[in-house]
Chain A
């Protein structure tokens, strides 16, 4: 398959977002007059130096933090955050150690008030999707890092979000596992027809996952750059077009 999935759902627009943090009495601006449109069904990666505001942006989208000013519009309608339309996948799996894998996956739905029986039935389906059938009754401490992160992904998918927000999802995994998980994520994204926003500091990961890459600069007078990644899928990490795009991204950070 080389065609992109048809975007089923609407777009998310950020308009004139401002966010600053107070540090030792001073106000540190993180985002100033920030605009972005996330297209339905796309995979967007956000890269940038640390302190450039990538994680803050993701947390505002998730509703875990609020912008000082500015609007979030879903299909043109103002919204405080994405709410139940989104699910967050954190760098750490953040599983509840006292729940079995199946019950961890069901937790996201149950937290929203879905009946446990229904939640667990759906959880079982998504556990199979991430390749962890047979691990339903295992406890988190018995899982490897990659397996635990799969459980976290299944938990997010079980809530059937329109947008998956991923905050350096594979940053804590070893190199081999990371590559496998990236391929897995692209497969899931295509199968589930979900919009995906991934914050990462790994430029190769950004090129592999994304349709578009947003480059945030720590210099806030410089407008964020959006780079189109029009490579066919499945993507070859060693193809010349892939390497060229990665180099273009590195040049954004003054690296060669």
Chain B
């Protein structure tokens, strides 16, 4: 029997690099890795603090990091920031879930059925190119100034990246894999469940992550325009009242929210796509 050369030790082949424990690295190497990863961020924070303390920029406009941290602390535990964050999360979260609930199933359908895609494409392109913020006044007229109009404007902006990414993902599925499944007698449902859906997941996640960013963007805009609560409202309100550290605290919370959303989606994607080495 002739085999091509197979590696003797399979463990090295099968174990992804990321699984190697950090502890095995020497302390110096860890330090270097941290510096490479977070050096630029630390430099930025240092520059901010220096600019404020030395008065390069008026501390009234750019408060130091210590002042912002203090405002964040009091805002969260004594002020309204925690409540603002909760209501903002609720608005963006509801809209995002609704966009996922509509965008992914519709995208899966449109990606597979050419006639449906052709019939819906013109109107979707028109809707997509119409800025959600331009439509916000209409949504306010339709749904009033309450929660509904805010959730809807975010939904409007987030559904399109999800929908288009899903359609694209389904259409990009390798037809050779579909043919392979058919050659084994797989029916339509099996082909969808076992080939088309898993093959589309990476593309769907690209859409989800784009949509999460868009959701936060629209959340802030909507809250700045017509809200009496939420982080976006707090940014505006704090500026009016010249509570600049509080304003920065709200901005920091928004940034952290964005980072958290992205990390959450990335973690989910890594779990679902463990087979795919290259997820960035």
Contacts and interface: CB of A to CB of B under 8 A. Distances in A.
Given A134-B10, A138-B14, A180-B4, A96 B198 contact: yes
A171 to B, nearest CB: 14
B177 A131 contact: no
A90 B184 contact: no
A64 B4 contact: no
B183 interface: yes
Given A107-B194, A180-B2, A94 B176 contact: yes
Interface stretch (B99-107, B139-147, B255-263, B269-277): B269-277
B184 A112 contact: yes
Select the residue from A83, A88, A96, A176 with max chain B CB neighbours within 10 A: A96
A141 B277 contact: yes
Contacts of B182: 64
Contacts of A98: 198-199, 201, 273, 275-276
A142 interface: yes
A87 interface: yes
A57 to B, nearest CB: 15
A92 B176 CA distance: 9
Interface string A167-187: 000000000110110011001
Contacts of B195: 96
The interface residues of chain B, by DSSP majority, are classed as helix
B275 A137 contact: no
Contact of A142 (B6, B13, B183, B184): B13
Contacts, number: 76
A64 B179 contact: yes
B194 A180 contact: no
A144 B4 contact: yes
Given A111-B185, A144-B4, A183-B2, A90 B176 contact: yes
B180 interface: yes
Given A98-B273, A139-B275, A142-B13, A111 B186 contact: yes
Given A90-B176, A131-B3, A62 B183 contact: yes
* Residue of B1, B10, B185 with most partner-chain A CB within 10 A: B185
B4 to A, nearest CB: 5
Contacts of A231: none
A146 B275 contact: no
A99 interface: yes
B181 interface: yes
B177 to A, nearest CB: 6
A87 B10 contact: no
Interface centre among A97, A159, A177, A179 (most CB of B within 10 A): A97
A2 B13 CA distance: 39
Given A107-B194, A112-B185, A94 B275 contact: no
Interface string B2-27: 11101000100110000000000000
Nearest to B13: A142
A135 B7 CA distance: 11
Interface of A: 62-64, 83-84, 87-88, 90, 92, 94, 96-99, 107-108, 110-112, 131, 134-135, 137-142, 144, 146-147, 159, 176-177, 179-180, 183-184, 187
7 contacts: A62-B183, A87-B183, A90-B176, A92-B176, A96-B177, A98-B201, A131-B3
Given A64-B179, A112-B186, 4 more contacts: A87-B183, A88-B183, A99-B275, A146-B4
